[in-house]
Structure 1
Amino acid sequence: MSESDKMFAPQTEGRITNRFSLLLDKADDDVIDSSLRSGVELRGATPWILMFAILVASIGLNINSPAVIIGAMLISPLMGPIVGIGYGIGIYDFTLIRRSLANLGIAAGISLATSTLYFLLTPLDEAQSELLARTTPTLWDVLIALTGGLAGIIGMTRREKSNVIPGVAIATALMPPLCTAGYGLANANWAVFGGAFYLFSINCVFIAVATVIVIEYLRLPHRKFVDQRVERRVKRTLLMVVMLTGLPSIYLAIQLVDNEVFGNRARQFVRQEFSGGASHVVDTSLSPLQRRIELTLIGARMPAAAIAAIEKKLPQAGLEGATLVVNQAEDSRVDVGVLKADILAEIYRDTQEGLRERDATIAQLREELARRDAQRDAWRGIAADTGAEFVAQYPDCKDVLMGLALLPARDDQAASEVPTLTARCTRTLAPAEVQRAQAWLVARTKTAGAQLMLIPPARRR
């Protein structure tokens, strides 16, 4: 802790703000400086790690796997140069800024080259949802980058390191936009490339801005400008970069919110106006940019006058300027053959699912029957041997029956089957013999509840 920090710390003790002070557990200034400068360099193993991380992220985007994408972000080394730019601006070290910008440019070039090469070679050329999600940045991406950057630089300046940096890498998502930009280059889709690279730029700028904010708050030593005009020019340039980067995202955020509001209102309007009648909505297509609601109906044909009356209600539902297009079964714009094919395909899928469930049930029942048959065959052998052995030990006992008896459920145990041996004896066995025979039966059948039932000889009249 620097001398200024030590002077500051006692003043905060005993106050509620002491709990939130970033100066109490801050690392020494020279430690912070060394750590942030060392993260800027892109040498040795770092470029290789970057290429492999980009390749992993590209595969994750290609197969639409969030888990793989998150894994790539965890091993990404892109945070170092970005934080270095913010640190350089915060302490007015233009040499560090130039070196950080150069390393960030090299890292971005390596990332774009690797992802472009992958998407040129992969046979999976369809844009998945995880990939398309990185093409339309909004104000929320700005907030994520700013708050994530604040958390990241605070974690980097602590005496005890935590797991903040991996979390920031995931939250700010530096890798996927570069991979998506590579996809746009590979497929010559400049809209995808522009949107993805703009998202990457937002992340870089606002992580750097967050770094500047925290560096200023922590009062780290920085260089002084001899000419105050140069200092003002630097601050104006930084503010201009922030505004030029952030303003388009505000417009895109407003557009996104407007599209979501239009979609919610349109779906609610369709549910209210087209439910309960003889016609049924089978498909709804919304185009927020064109303010267009297109429906496909089946069932009784709805008169044109009724559709016109419903369309007049659009302004009342908050859908001013929207157009309603209704396609009905008799309408030539509807391909009835395709509709029938869709219905048949749905029936086929349901039938196949039912058949799979039936086959699984049959296989389970067959397995249960085979298991019971095997148990029955094994029991037959045990019963025959046990009966023969009992007669050999007690010749006075005949008519031996061996079977499984069902014991009813009791308070402490459920109903169960136990081996039972029944025999008719020509003489009454002594209690010691009966006890020994019972113990033998338990040992022979390996069942603690085995029952021995001896029928005494009939009395002569």
Structure 2
Amino acid sequence: MNLFKRIRIFFNLRSDLEQEQAIIEEITRGVSFRGANLWVLIVAIFIASLGLNVNSTAVIIGAMLISPLMGPIIGMGLAVGINDLELLKRALKNFSVATLISVLTAMLYFLISPLEEAQSELLARTTPTIYDVLIAFFGGAAGIIALSTRGRGGNVIPGVAIATALMPPLCTAGYGLATGQLTFFFGAFYLFFINTVFISLATIIGVRLMGFRHHEVLAPDRAKRAHHILTLIIVATTLPALLMTADIIRTSIFENNLRRFIAAELAQSGTQILSSGRDATTKELRIVAIGRAITDDQQQAATARMEQYGLGGYQLSVIQGGASDSLLSLSSQLAQHTYTQEREKQKLLELSSDNASLTQRLEAYTRCEALATELRPELAVLFPAVHSLSLSRAVEVQRDTTATLHFVMAAFALEEGARWSAEDARRFEAWLKTRLSGDSVVLLPRTKVFSSMKAH
């Protein structure tokens, strides 16, 4: 037995494969989106949206684990792989319904959520690259292998759900619609489309390599047209991701070259480079430095060697000395001004709170004086036996408890010889409580003589 045959034995899947019909039935059951599956999807979308909103990776992973979105995607790949047109129609229909419900559910959540700021977990789903294409393809390959082998591959399917991350892009698309940020919507939905296409593509290749029987044999012209459509979808899906990846790589290379240039040509003892950056419009490299000055000769020599670092076409602009000090001073002043504004705002809030409290306490004390004046005409009509009435707020403390009692003390004096029964006292107290809007009232009778003395 030669080496190639020995290697083939290790990589042979046929001994582990389930019966073909059992695999197809298992995948077909996962295509349906009704009843429990639909409710689980809605709940998973809410959980994923919460995770994105509060920037919690653990919550997002939990939502991906319970999401049933993988079913119709693998179903579409299986349908194309075995030429089952009816299964493809069912899978497309359920996939479309699931996608629409997911986006609408996420949009509803973000419309009512008080947290509107886009967190890092959400932003990470708006700029797909070729690496997302590769993750989706290899994740789909792992998924179809797991579904086709005995025991259903253990933890492979949950792992595929996490790696390919179908839920977060749909939630981010819903966020984009809810906040009116279409760049978020299109970027996230493009990532979801990448995952869908390449999971399905891996499934197509998998079932064909494993020799699944075709449900129907397509005519040569139909087979050729289907092949062209599939190729067009793959190319159209991959091309934008390639362009985005190329841009990211170019930016990364440029930043690495800039760091190497600064370290080799401008760094020196006693000089600290505060910041560096480029202006793509003016083709200018801006370096902000403090400490020991970078001389004009050093700058000219560094400029002459910029081509060696892939920075050709850019002009070097070094901001240092007074200019850098001015920038630092301006930055410090801005920070101090911001801090001062915050402190003044806090003080204003405290003063406003104190003013409201003092106003409330003042009203409580002056209320009795104003009310006593209002009660004079009523007192003469309802209780002519009462010669005078004084009202004041009182606080009572007790020796054996820390509780304090607040009440209105009503001191009154009767006319000489006036008749005053217990019923009169009861009606007088009830009238005072009504006019004092339910405050506790303590009546304090006093003599007219004392009242006259106080008046003098």
**Matching residue of 1:261:** 253
Pairwise CA distance, 1:208: 0.2
**Matching residue of 1:48:** 39
Q: 1:207 aligns with which of 189, 199, 202?
A: 199
C-alpha separation in 1, matches of 2:141 and 2:56? 28
CA contact (8 A) 2:125 2:168 kept: yes
**Matching residue of 2:79:** 88
* TM-score calculated relative to the size of structure 2: 0.68
**Matching residue of 1:177:** 169
Change (3 A) 1:178 1:250: same
CA contact (8 A) 2:266 2:302 kept: no
Pairwise CA distance, 1:340: 5.7
- Measured against aligned partners, the alpha-carbon deviations of 1:77-108 in whole angstroms (never above 9, x if no partner) come to 11000001001101111111111111111111
Aligned counterparts, 1:311-330, within 5 A = 311-328=303-320, 330=322
- Measured against aligned partners, the alpha-carbon deviations of 1:18-62 in whole angstroms (never above 9, x if no partner) come to 221111111111111110100000011111111111111112122
**Residue 26 of structure 2 corresponds to residue 35 of structure 1:** yes
* TM-score calculated relative to the size of structure 1: 0.67
Change (3 A) 1:94 1:137: same
CA contact (8 A) 2:266 2:298 kept: no
**Residue 68 of structure 2 corresponds to residue 73 of structure 1:** no
**Which stretch of the first structure deviates more once superposed, 185-194 or 78-87?**
185-194
Aligned counterparts, 1:379-458, within 5 A = none
Pairwise CA distance, 1:226: 5.4
Change (3 A) 1:294 1:113: farther
Change (3 A) 1:338 1:315: same
Pairwise CA distance, 1:288: 7.5
C-alpha separation in 2, matches of 1:261 and 1:290? 20
C-alpha separation in 2, matches of 1:298 and 1:290? 24
Change (3 A) 1:157 1:57: same
C-alpha separation in 1, matches of 2:308 and 2:272? 23
Change (3 A) 1:291 1:210: farther
**Aligned residue-pair number:** 334
CA contact (8 A) 1:50 1:111 kept: yes
Pairwise CA distance, 1:303: 5.3
- Measured against aligned partners, the alpha-carbon deviations of 1:131-170 in whole angstroms (never above 9, x if no partner) come to 1111111111111100010000100111212111000001
**Residue 327 of structure 2 corresponds to residue 334 of structure 1:** yes
**Residue 138 of structure 2 corresponds to residue 147 of structure 1:** yes
Change (3 A) 1:22 1:291: farther
C-alpha separation in 1, matches of 2:281 and 2:60? 31
Identity of aligned residues (%): 43
**Matching residue of 1:446:** none
Change (3 A) 1:143 1:223: same
Amino acid at match of 1:199: L
**Matching residue of 2:413:** none
Change (3 A) 1:34 1:259: same
Q: 1:159 aligns with which of 150, 162, 167?
A: 150
C-alpha separation in 2, matches of 1:135 and 1:289? 25
Change (3 A) 1:170 1:323: farther
Aligned counterparts, 1:6-25, within 5 A = 15-25=6-16
SS class of match (2:288): strand
Pairwise CA distance, 1:287: 6.4
CA contact (8 A) 1:291 1:323 kept: yes
Pairwise CA distance, 1:278: 4.5
**Matching residue of 1:438:** none
C-alpha separation in 2, matches of 1:61 and 1:286? 32
C-alpha separation in 1, matches of 2:57 and 2:290? 38
Change (3 A) 1:257 1:222: same
**Matching residue of 1:406:** none
Change (3 A) 1:315 1:240: same
Amino acid at match of 2:331: V
CA contact (8 A) 1:263 1:288 kept: no
**Residue 91 of structure 2 corresponds to residue 100 of structure 1:** yes
**Matching residue of 2:122:** 131
**Matching residue of 1:248:** 240
Pairwise CA distance, 1:334: 2.6
Change (3 A) 1:67 1:287: farther
- Measured against aligned partners, the alpha-carbon deviations of 1:305-356 in whole angstroms (never above 9, x if no partner) come to 654543333212122233444333633983623236669999xxxxxxxxxx
Change (3 A) 1:123 1:291: farther
CA contact (8 A) 1:135 1:192 kept: yes
Amino acid at match of 1:128: Q
**Which stretch of the first structure deviates more once superposed, 175-184 or 139-148?**
175-184
**Matching residue of 1:443:** none
- Measured against aligned partners, the alpha-carbon deviations of 1:178-220 in whole angstroms (never above 9, x if no partner) come to 1111121122222221111111101000000000011101111
Pairwise CA distance, 1:239: 1.2
Aligned counterparts, 1:185-204, within 5 A = 185-204=177-196
**Which stretch of the first structure deviates more once superposed, 34-43 or 274-283?**
274-283
- Which structure has more helix as a fraction of its residues? 2
C-alpha separation in 2, matches of 1:274 and 1:172? 44
SS class of match (2:116): coil
SS class of match (2:107): helix
**Dislocated runs of 4+, deviation >6 Å:** 287-291, 343-346
C-alpha separation in 2, matches of 1:88 and 1:173? 23
Change (3 A) 1:93 1:226: closer
CA contact (8 A) 1:57 1:179 kept: yes
C-alpha separation in 1, matches of 2:179 and 2:315? 34
C-alpha separation in 1, matches of 2:262 and 2:335? 22
SS class of match (2:286): strand
Over aligned residue pairs, what C-alpha RMSD do you find?
2.7
CA contact (8 A) 1:274 1:280 kept: no
SS class of match (1:160): helix
C-alpha separation in 1, matches of 2:264 and 2:68? 52
**Which stretch of the first structure deviates more once superposed, 145-154 or 306-315?**
306-315
